[in-house]
């Protein structure tokens, strides 16, 4: 639970992991946020094997937070071609399953097709030989972290659409240029699709090099170099794999034993086993058993941060998954050290977001498929509707810290009764009641719609 973890987190922070990861990046007065809206994608770009939808990154709430959001819908057999970004990204799988690969120059190719134990020499010589870097099975409810500048690709090996929500932290210190989202394609030509600001006119990096240069750099003939540029390629940035897609992967049905691929690798030493090459980049946010806060009557809350997924201390990002049952409430709260960008994956929630003037900058419903930004320090509350509400929150800090206003671990509870009594002009007894009335932690059971009456209908 975020609240309860706070002391532990902070201990580590004081040990040097670093608290402050970014800074105000807007000029004086430029972020007088008066209104925040739940947003849907404003543009999309179609490709052969799927579609990418973009939230308008020039919208003020995204600009002020220095973030951008996009969503890939990859069809079965669709392959999102290798690309890298100018910012660290978090990728959450809303639906479906796939294979995720991140490649880093200098990392060993630890997945080898022909050196698996238990196969005969004969079998090996007959099989198609390849070796490549580690890849990940990736499915609904899982999140993957990708550093700025690291090339990655995704293949939908399931039989339904694979839906990925991708969070870009352009304001992150890892991005030294400006806050515009920039994607570099190693293959694919998104320009072939419909016009979209972020990809508009984009094509693969190889087109910027001369054919002769590529021929020389890869030691291939110019015919082959021309294929790298793919001038006639109209499939876009997500292509459909026609014949079977073969990659080397530990047997999926048994799961991968921890560290298995390391044992198969000859060229790595102790240091490297703790390097980015073998860093864990994936975590399941959806398993109820991983919940940090669990309330059988109200829902659950699960976080992933630099303590549970160490690469996040490097990316300065964290995430959380919230599940509210029918009429559940997430306590009024604020993040001390992060913006929180919320994507609703199921149901809907009434949210109120309050600025430093005590004004609601948002009071409305956030529905499945919508995104809303809760700026750092702004107070927010969520009230789930009749269908409950599920969401993923992307936070701009490796250890986002939350303060709640009510409930068992709230800040209000830490105040002396006499401070409360004098603050709200109530008796000491009322103050003690205010502190202790709500015994649950962060995720509360709520009233039904009819009980809420006027409030819910507003």
Which residues 249-308 are close enough to bind its own copies by CB under 8 A?
A: 268, 271-272, 274-277, 279
Total of chain residues touching its own copies, rule CB under 8 A: 189
| Residue span binding its own copies (CB under 8 A) among the ranges 7-15, 89-97, 115-123, 318-326 | 7-15
Q: Count CA within 13 A, CB hemisphere, residue 455.
A: 15
Determine, following the binding rule CB under 8 A, whether residue 309 of this chain makes contact with its own copies.
no
What part of residues 331-350 is at the interface with its own copies (CB under 8 A)?
331-339
Residue 25 · residue 171 · CB < 8 Å: yes
Q: Which of 35, 115, 195, 213 binds its own copies (CB under 8 A)?
A: 213
Question: Rounded to the nearest whole angstrom, what is the least distance from the CB of residue 212 to its own copies in the complex?
Answer: 3
Residue 249 · residue 98 · CB < 8 Å: no
Contacts of 58 (CB under 8 A, 6+ apart): 197
- Residue closer to its own copies by CB (options 123, 247) is 247
Q: Is the dihedral of CA 227, 114, 240, 193 positive or negative?
A: negative
- Residue closer to its own copies by CB (options 31, 284) is 31
Q: Is the dihedral of CA 154, 156, 158, 164 positive or negative?
A: positive
| Residue span binding its own copies (CB under 8 A) among the ranges 117-125, 160-168, 280-288, 324-332 | 324-332
- Residue closer to its own copies by CB (options 74, 311) is 311
Q: Which of 138, 206, 325, 343 binds its own copies (CB under 8 A)?
A: 206
- Residue closer to its own copies by CB (options 50, 141) is 50
- Residue closer to its own copies by CB (options 365, 456) is 456
Determine, following the binding rule CB under 8 A, whether residue 195 of this chain makes contact with its own copies.
no
Q: Which of 127, 231, 247, 280 binds its own copies (CB under 8 A)?
A: 247
Give 199's DSSP letter. T
Question: Rounded to the nearest whole angstrom, what is the least distance from the CB of residue 125 to its own copies in the complex?
Answer: 15
What part of residues 364-403 is at the interface with its own copies (CB under 8 A)?
375-377, 379, 381, 383, 396, 401-403
| Residue span binding its own copies (CB under 8 A) among the ranges 239-247, 280-288, 296-304, 341-349 | 239-247
In 3-state terms, what secondary structure has residue 212? helix
Helices (H), 167-264: 211-218, 222-229, 260-263
Question: Rounded to the nearest whole angstrom, what is the least distance from the CB of residue 419 to its own copies in the complex?
Answer: 6
What part of residues 404-433 is at the interface with its own copies (CB under 8 A)?
404-406, 409-419, 422-426, 428, 430, 432-433
Question: Rounded to the nearest whole angstrom, what is the least distance from the CB of residue 240 to its own copies in the complex?
Answer: 9
Determine, following the binding rule CB under 8 A, whether residue 363 of this chain makes contact with its own copies.
yes
Q: Which of 47, 90, 148, 393 binds its own copies (CB under 8 A)?
A: 148
| Residue span binding its own copies (CB under 8 A) among the ranges 117-125, 136-144, 168-176, 294-302 | 168-176
Residue 380 · residue 354 · CB < 8 Å: yes
Q: Which of 92, 153, 301, 343 binds its own copies (CB under 8 A)?
A: 153
Contacts of 190 (CB under 8 A, 6+ apart): 45, 47, 52, 196, 199, 202, 203, 236, 237
Q: Which of 51, 69, 79, 291 binds its own copies (CB under 8 A)?
A: 79
What part of residues 26-65 is at the interface with its own copies (CB under 8 A)?
26-32, 58, 63-65
Q: Which of 144, 214, 285, 389 binds its own copies (CB under 8 A)?
A: 214
Distance from C-alpha of 240 to C-alpha of 272, rounded to nearest angstrom: 35
Q: What SS3 string covers 114-161?
A: CCCCCCCHHHHHHCCCCEECCEEEEECCEEEEECCCCEEEEECCCCCC
Total residue length of the chain: 458
Closest CA to 249 of 142, 111, 96, 126: 111
Q: Which of 123, 127, 245, 287 binds its own copies (CB under 8 A)?
A: 245
Torsional class of 29: left (φ above 0), alpha (ψ -120 to 50), beta (otherwise) = left
E-only strand ranges, 325-399: 329-335, 340-354, 360-367, 371-374, 379-395
Q: Which residue(s) pair with 397 in the sheet?
A: none
Determine, following the binding rule CB under 8 A, whether residue 184 of this chain makes contact with its own copies.
yes
| Residue span binding its own copies (CB under 8 A) among the ranges 136-144, 238-246, 257-265, 288-296 | 238-246
Distance from C-alpha of 134 to C-alpha of 125, rounded to nearest angstrom: 22
Residue 341 · residue 433 · CB < 8 Å: no
Q: Which of 59, 124, 186, 387 binds its own copies (CB under 8 A)?
A: 186
Determine, following the binding rule CB under 8 A, whether residue 352 of this chain makes contact with its own copies.
yes
Distance from C-alpha of 15 to C-alpha of 25, rounded to nearest angstrom: 27
């Amino acid at each position: 639970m975020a609240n309860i973890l706070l002391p532990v987190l902070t201990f580590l922070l004081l040990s040097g992991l670093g608290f402050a990861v970014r800074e105000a990046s807007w000029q004086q007065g430029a972020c007088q946020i008066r209104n925040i809206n739940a947003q849907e994608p404003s543009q999309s770009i179609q490709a052969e094997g799927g579609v990418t939808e973009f939230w308008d990154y020039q919208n003020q709430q995204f600009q002020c937070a220095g973030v951008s959001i996009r969503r890939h819908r990859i069809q079965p057999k669709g392959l999102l071609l290798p690309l890298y970004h100018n910012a660290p990204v978090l990728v959450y799988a809303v639906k479906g399953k796939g294979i995720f690969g991140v490649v880093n120059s200098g990392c060993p190719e630890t997945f080898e097709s022909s050196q698996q134990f238990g196969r005969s020499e004969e079998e090996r010589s007959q099989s198609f030989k390849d070796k490549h870097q580690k890849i990940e099975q990736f499915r609904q409810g899982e999140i993957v972290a990708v550093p700025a500048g690291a090339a990655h690709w995704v293949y939908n090996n399931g039989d339904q659409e694979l839906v990925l929500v991708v969070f870009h932290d352009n304001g992150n210190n890892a991005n030294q240029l400006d806050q515009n989202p920039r994607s570099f394609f190693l293959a694919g030509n998104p320009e072939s699709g419909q016009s979209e600001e972020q990809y508009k006119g984009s094509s693969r990096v190889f087109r910027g090099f001369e054919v002769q240069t590529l021929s020389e750099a890869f030691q291939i003939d110019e015919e082959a170099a021309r294929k790298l540029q793919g001038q006639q390629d109209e499939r876009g940035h997500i292509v459909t794999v026609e014949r079977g897609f073969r990659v080397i992967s530990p047997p999926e049905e048994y799961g991968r034993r921890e560290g298995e691929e390391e044992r198969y690798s000859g060229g790595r030493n102790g240091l490297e086993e703790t390097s980015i090459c073998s860093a864990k980049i994936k975590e399941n946010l959806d398993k109820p058993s991983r919940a940090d806060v669990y309330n059988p009557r109200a829902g659950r809350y699960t976080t992933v941060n630099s303590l549970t997924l160490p690469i996040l201390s490097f990316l300065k990002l964290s995430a959380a998954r919230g599940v509210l049952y029918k009429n559940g409430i997430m306590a009024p709260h604020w993040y001390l050290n992060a913006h929180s960008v919320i994507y609703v994956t199921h149901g809907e929630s009434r949210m109120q977001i309050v600025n430093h003037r005590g004004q609601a900058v948002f009071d409305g419903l956030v529905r499945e498929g919508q995104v809303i930004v809760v700026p750092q320090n702004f107070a927010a509350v969520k009230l789930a509707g009749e269908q409950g509400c599920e969401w993923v929150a992307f936070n701009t800090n490796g250890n986002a810290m939350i303060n709640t206003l009510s409930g068992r671990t709230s800040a209000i509870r830490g105040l002396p009764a006499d401070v409360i009594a004098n603050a709200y002009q109530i008796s000491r007894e009322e103050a003690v009641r205010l502190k202790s009335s709500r015994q649950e932690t962060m995720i509360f059971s709520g009233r039904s719609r009819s009980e809420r009456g006027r409030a819910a209908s507003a």
